[in-house]
Structure 1
Amino acid sequence: MKKVSILLSALTIGFVSFAAPKNVAVSPKSSIVWLAKKVTGEHTGTVAISKASLAVDGNKLVGGNFTIDLKKIVCLDITDAEYNKKFIGHISTGDFFEVEKFPTASFVITKVAGNQISGNLTVKGITKAISFPANITVAGGKVSAKANITIDRTDFGIQYGSKKFFASIGDKAIMDEFNLNVTLISE
């Protein structure tokens, strides 16, 4: 009877170890492209991912997270170097991301249901639950997840140029929603 108990304990430990999700590192090929609009135009650029991992169980994405390095925001459409520097300087202030106080933003997956990802996004120390569809591929131990995420900046205390807070701002208004086109690829 003792041998049977030992054997069952060993099988149980082996099964639990086998069933645990596996974390995979995310490749430097991963990227975030942002798009922000205003009444009179738009700006686009990139922002660096400082760290990320994805959790897979068999052929399913089950979790993960990524951290955005807000000190590495780049604007791609402003070609004048001086104006580009001024623009990045402004969105790095308290009017927008307050980068000196909050150098990173983060997203932690709380649930994956089919192609729908839910999780907690933290920007400027404020955490909000968000959900979005994603194209997810898991094959041969490799993971690829791509999503276009729409975020309302006012949910994170970023009110500058918002018609919600400055009704008479006219053509100087900046849209409340911006997009992050996120691509995470495992190594």
Structure 2
Amino acid sequence: MKKLLLAASVISLLAACGGPSSDKATTEEKKDAAAVTGESFTIDTAATTVNWRATHKGGMAPRFGTIRTDAGSLSVENGALTAGNFEINLTSLTTDTASVTEAGKKSTDLDAHLKSPDFFDVAKYPKAKFVITKVAPYDSLQQKSLLPGATNLISGNLTLKDSTLNITFPAQVAINGNELTATAKFTIDRSAWGISYKTDGSPENWMISKDVEVGFNVKATKK
């Protein structure tokens, strides 16, 4: 009985703290892009967004917001996603005002800080890029994902600033006639791309979680 109560307490604590809400992407060295075959679908930049969420160890509320995509295309062969890429416009990064609850703080101030050389340095690196290197079926018997309805494991090269690494994460992909939609939510370690505030070991950098949650909401239509 005591063990059950302890387990319940732990679960309640995790829920109160938010708990893990997304899969942690595996990270490897850069790989070759998947071959472009089949039909081409163009990314709908008006309907495609990248969401982000970061946490602070100093008791501040989690920060979250969106980033626009600029361009991209996906390849579909025999009714399945096979390859593709899209650009992420880091100059469009915005923080949701609802995530900034401290008195005197503004979301626009945080936007400016994230775009500065302290983090993404968008004046020098205005674009990020994601290039698919592999698409595999998702097997719920072999993998356990926090993403409801995952259909595929997608691997791709993510370029941030001047670093490119390959990440793999579950995604839900649906192809209906001339339209393709894909959603994913996962965490990456920002420090793997050399994104650190001040220095990697500084107290200021330590206060910001290295894990950043990234969400893709992609829509593409056949050319």
Q: Same fold (TM over 0.5)?
A: yes
| Aligned counterpart, 1:30 | 48
| Aligned counterpart, 1:112 | 135
Q: CA deviation at 1:117?
A: 0.4
Report matched runs for 1:14-163 at 5 Å. 20-27=37-44, 28-39=46-57, 40=59, 41-76=61-96, 77-78=99-100, 83-114=106-137, 115-160=152-197
| Aligned counterpart, 1:16 | none
SS at structure 2 position matched to 1:186? strand
2:71 corresponds to which letter in structure 1? K
Q: 2:175, 2:85 → 1: CA distance? A: 16
SS at structure 2 position matched to 1:86? helix
SS at structure 2 position matched to 1:89? helix
1:145 corresponds to which letter in structure 2? A
- Contact 1:124/1:156 (<8 A) preserved: yes
Bigger strand fraction: 1
Q: CA deviation at 1:91?
A: 0.7
Partner deviation per Cα, 1:17-63 (whole Å, 9 max, x = no partner): xxx41110122211111111111231011111111211100210001
| Aligned counterpart, 2:216 | 182
Consecutive unaligned residues in structure 1, runs of 5 or more: 1-19
Identity %: 32
2:68 corresponds to which letter in structure 1? A
Q: 1:107, 1:121 → 2: CA distance? A: 5
Q: 2:123, 2:205 → 1: CA distance? A: 29
Q: 2:104, 2:182 → 1: CA distance? A: 33
Q: How many residues align?
A: 166
| Aligned counterpart, 2:142 | none
2:111 corresponds to which letter in structure 1? I
SS at structure 1 position matched to 2:62? strand
2:172 corresponds to which letter in structure 1? N
Consecutive unaligned residues in structure 2, runs of 5 or more: 1-36, 138-151
- Contact 2:197/2:205 (<8 A) preserved: no
Q: CA deviation at 1:93?
A: 1.1
| Cα RMSD after superposing both structures | 2.3
Structure 1 residues 91, 170: CA separation in 2 closer, same or farther (over 3 Å shift)? closer
Structure having the higher Rg: 1
Taking structure 2 as the reference length, what is the TM-score of the superposition? 0.69
Q: CA deviation at 1:139?
A: 2.2
